[in-house]
Amino acid sequence: MPALLLLLALACGPTEAPVVEPAPPLAQELARTLATDLMAARTRYSEGDAEAASHAIRAAYDGPFAALEPILRAHDPQATLELEYAFGRAATHAARKGSDAVPVELDALIADLRQAVAALPVAEGQPAPADGAAGAGGAGNPEITTVPAN
């Protein structure tokens, strides 16, 4: 019996909090690229090219988001799952012409992306994101802004 308790204690091990590694600076660059790509998709949709918009959203997901996803997932799996779902929803709605929800969904996706990247831990010596925007186009980066709905 004591051997079984010892085996159980060893198997369970100590319950230490996991070490949270800081996000690499690449996360901020990927967030900027994603925001730019999603704004381009929003513009294409607003101009009436739903197919190009849907393709641009899927390309952003398969490209920069695929590279950013493991970094986000390591720090907040739930937020990452919600971002993945938002990408799929926006791409599906964009494929259907005439959906008023697409610009709003893309704006929300960009905002959620900014929030998720801003929440990543920053390494010592790494510059903090400007105004909590994680370089993804917030007040600290005026060249990437949300386009008002038509």
Q: Residue 133 falls within a domain, yes or no?
A: no
27, 122 Cβ separation under 8 angstroms: no
Instruction: For residue 122, report the phi and psi dihedrals to the nearest 5 degrees.
Output: -110, 135
pLDDT, greater one: 99 or 1: 99
pLDDT digits (tens, 9 = 90+) for 8-58: 444 555 555 444 566 678 899 999 999 999 999 999 999 999 999 999 999
Kindly tell me the number of DSSP H helices and DSSP E strands found in the chain.
Answer: 6, 0
Q: Residue 150 falls within a domain, yes or no?
A: no
Q: Residue 128 falls within a domain, yes or no?
A: no
Q: Residue 91 falls within a domain, yes or no?
A: yes
Can you give the residue range of the structural domain that contains 116? 25-121
CA dist 94 and 89 (Å) reads: 8
pLDDT digits (tens, 9 = 90+) for 64-99: 999 999 999 999 999 999 999 999 999 999 998 878
Q: Residue 35 falls within a domain, yes or no?
A: yes
Q: Residue 52 falls within a domain, yes or no?
A: yes
Q: Residue 41 falls within a domain, yes or no?
A: yes
> How many separate domains does the chain show?
1
Q: Residue 18 falls within a domain, yes or no?
A: no
